[in-house]
Amino acid sequence: MKPFFRWHTDEDVAWEGERPFPHHARQRKTRRLAIWFIGMLVAGTALVYWQQIRQIQLEERQIQADVLASHQTWQEAVGGADFDLFVYLLSKQDPLWQNGQKQLFTQGLMRDRAPLGLYAQAEPDNIVVELAPDWQVATVTFEQTYTAVANAETTDIIRLQQTSLYQLDGSRWLQMPPDAEFWGETAIYEGKWLTLLYPARDAEWALRLAADLEDELAAICATKPCRNGVDVRLATEPGALAGLRDVLTPVFDGRFHILPTFTLAGLPLDDAGYRALYQGYTLRILTAFENSLDSPVPLPEQAIQTICFADGGNTPHLFRYDLTSDAWTTELPDRAFRFLTPSYDDNGVILTELPASSEPNRLQLSLWQNGRETPLVDDASRQWRFPPLGWSEQAQPPRAMLYEFDTTTQTRTLYSWLDMEQCDEAGCAVQDLPGYTVWSPDGRFTLIVIDSELWLGDEQGEPSQVVGPGTTPFWLDNETYGYIRYQPQMELVAATVNEGSERVLLDSVMVTAVLNDSETGFPSISFVAPHSTTPNLLFLTGPEIRGATGKYNIFSFQVADDWLKTPTGQAAGTLILRLQLDEPPLGYPSRLTPSGAPPISFSENGRWLVTAQLPNPPNDIWNISLYDITANQTQIINVRSPQYQANAPFFDWSRDGQWLVVVDDGFFRLIAPAVNYERLILHEFEECYFTAWVN
């Protein structure tokens, strides 16, 4: 039997490396296609995403560039003092913030920090723009270089980081105020001698300041008796920076020292920056604190009387401050007063009642003295000027004069004499005068300016003899008087009552020679004031007439004892230029001249001549110059007097002439200029106005 054989073809043998069966091959091919497709899809998606990211980045950079362009325009407005452009770049959503920014601009404090002893140097650099997630708000930070001179000993160069916020408004990026979320919650540090309120955003620097200031206060109180500590608030509103005037003058809000928080002033970038900013912050606080502990000269044995608006009220009331007890007292609490005029002897004050709206011209005057009120005037028949009363001081005792509008012309003042020697329960005698009147020291004679003519008169102010054209009359003694006339040159003339002799003491040629300025214009004398304690010493004031560059000059003129014998054409005395001011002084409301309040006044002891000016362009900061007549030196005080119906700041000298009390914004300043000393009186009233020392 034949063997059984099974034949195989080549296809039946599975050789090494043999291809898979056809259905496996198809699966692999499908898998490769899927991987390729997914890869292409991922790559495409990544490409699209990358392109979108790139587009977003491009748009973000473009927006940042737009913000930067707005910020650079802001820098140009600040650098070029372009107020209109600056305002155009401000958001209008918060009027208070906007007004604060305007204040900073007009005071040159947008980048400069002079009230903190820091003076901006180069242009800002390292400008960084960060956008909020919605791209509607941007934060711009930049670094500013300063020279630090707060302690007047070094001129270190430091850098602070400044911060500005911008908001998209239509197609423009405008500077905007930071909101509450930007600043965070208000936090408090309470130490033994310091209480500090600060925004959470600036916690790091605020707490460092608190620790350092607490240590300095503790060191002071380790050697001196301290009754109270110091309260400070780091404020977030721009007015906190605008309110500072110099490195020594504080700003108060009730009980708190107000300082701009670090982000407003500038964030320190290193320890040197912090130390410089700390010095600028605390110098005013430590100086005021130490001055409150002791005084180099005795405080006057007097109290302070003033008119204030109590917190939350809109009615002005009378208050009294006692220096010994450091206590405030309300006086006549049910009454409202419009003005307060110091009496000539400090034995009381003359109060002007606030008239009812139905009788706006009603004048009610009363003398408030030792807790007793004496009625002086109650009249609604005239159109009184406000303030309505001033003192004609050369007579002893000085005469109280009232003034009112000429209701016929409304262009001149009518004068009356309030005779406080003739009073009854209804008030005192009011005697009409024909013009501005000055009594001789003994009260027997008067000089009266009627329109542009000068007359001699009797003790009642009745004209008896015409002198001629003249203005600004004054008395050298009981029988010798003087005045200014123009014929057409200015002449200072003196004469005697009995002999009728007349002599030109000084003329404009002699004044020009003393100025010693080739570009001097025509020197005019608009006011003459006899010195309060030195016989025959006159102070002459007036502007140069030479356009915008003319100065306001203040001279002293010592009249020669033998002035009648001085040859014609020579000055009958010694003329000295004392002060030159850029702007005319604006007067003191409780004294009187033919043209209103006098431009200068004197301290009670005669040592100090005082002028008060508003800078040009005007703001609410007064420059008060205290000129030491003996030493020929000037101290300047900057005060922010509240706005009221008086074109002058509110101040008064103590009876001994050593202490000047000045109303500032939120506090009173007691100044002893002879020893360069100042003490602050805090109060919690809304505003205070007229003030006076009382015995």
Q: What secondary structure does DSSP assign to 524-550, as a single string?
A: ---EEEE-SSSTTEEEEEEEEEBTBTP
Mean pLDDT of the chain: 86
Q: Look at residue 163 and tell me if it is in a domain.
A: yes
* Confidence grade of residue 268 (pLDDT, cut at 50, 70, 90): very high
Q: Using CA atoms, how far apart are residues 574 and 95, in angstroms rounded to an integer? A: 56
Question: Taking Cα atoms as reference points, which of 376, 471, 390 lies closest to residue 426?
Answer: 376
pLDDT at 49 over 70: no
For residue 21, pLDDT beyond 70: no
CATH number at residue 173: 3.10.450.100
Residue 304 in this model has a pLDDT that exceeds 50: yes
Determine, yes or no, domain membership for 177.
yes
Share of the chain above pLDDT 70, in %: 86
The torsion of the CA quartet 583, 618, 647, 384, rounded to 10 degrees, works out to: 120
Question: What residues have CB less than 8 Å from 593, skipping those under 6 apart?
Answer: 436, 472, 527
Cα separation, 265 vs 113, in Å, equals 7
pLDDT tens, position by position, 535-572: 999 999 988 766 556 788 999 999 999 998 889 889 99
What residue type is 501 in one-letter code? Answer: S
Bridge partner residues of 316 (DSSP)? 309
Residue 191 in any domain: the answer is yes
Residue 134 banded pLDDT, cuts 50, 70, 90: confident
The per-residue pLDDT for 190 is: 96
3-state secondary structure of 654: coil
For residues 637-655, average pLDDT: 77
Q: Is the pLDDT of residue 368 over 60?
A: yes
Comparing 29 with 543, the larger pLDDT belongs to 543
CA 542 to chain centre: 26
Average pLDDT of the residues in 206-210: 97
pLDDT category at 63 given cuts 50, 70, 90 is confident
Is 373 part of a structural domain of the chain?
no
Of 227, 258, 291, which residue is a domain's last? 291
pLDDT at 589: 54
Q: What is the pLDDT of residue 4?
A: 41
Please give the pLDDT value at position 275.
Answer: 94
Asked whether the predicted pLDDT for residue 32 surpasses 70, the reply is yes
How far apart CA 695 and CA 677 sit, in angstroms, is 22
Give the pLDDT band (50/70/90) at residue 438: very high
**pLDDT for the residue numbered 670:** 94
Please state the φ and ψ torsions of residue 496, each to the nearest 5 degrees: -115, 150
Phi-psi region of 312 (alpha: psi -120 to 50; beta: other; left: phi over 0): left
> Which residue, of 266, 291, 316, is where some domain finishes?
291
341 SS3 class: strand
Give the CATH number of the domain where residue 453 resides. Answer: 2.130.10.120
**Which is nearest to 564 in space by CA: 479, 459, 450, 654?**
479
| Weakest mean pLDDT among 148-162, 278-292, 466-480 | 148-162
Cα→Cα distances 431→264, 302, 435, 549, Å: 59, 33, 12, 44
Residue 169's φ and ψ, nearest 5 degrees, are: -130, 95
pLDDT value at 260 more than 80:
yes
pTM, entire model: 0.80
Phi, psi of 497 (to 5 degrees): -70, -50
Contact 607, 657 (CB under 8 A): yes
Structural domain includes residue 52: no
Identify the band that residue 419 occupies on the pLDDT scale cut at 50, 70 and 90.
very high
| Mean per-residue pLDDT, 481-486 | 94
Tell me the percentage of the chain whose pLDDT exceeds 90.
53
Pairing relationship of beta strands 256-260 and 427-433 according to DSSP bridges = unpaired
Number of domains in the chain: 2
DSSP 113: B
Is 247 a domain residue? yes
Give residue 689's pLDDT band: very low, low, confident or very high (50, 70, 90): confident
Q: Please tell me the distance from the alpha carbon of residue 590 to that of residue 596, in angstroms, as a whole number.
A: 10
Mean pLDDT of 243-256: 83
Q: Check pLDDT > 90 for residue 181.
A: yes
What is the longest distance spanned by two Cα atoms in the chain?
Answer: 189
CB 662 within 8 A of CB 671: yes
> Which is more confident, 369 or 18?
369
CB 668 within 8 A of CB 681: yes
Question: For position 23, what pLDDT does the model report?
Answer: 58
* 653 inside domain: no
> Would you say residue 56 has pLDDT above 90?
no
Residue 84 sits in which domain range?
A: 66-291
**What SS3 state is found at 439?**
strand
Residue 304 lies in a domain: no
End-to-end CA distance of the chain: 161
Domain end point (choices 274, 291, 308): 291
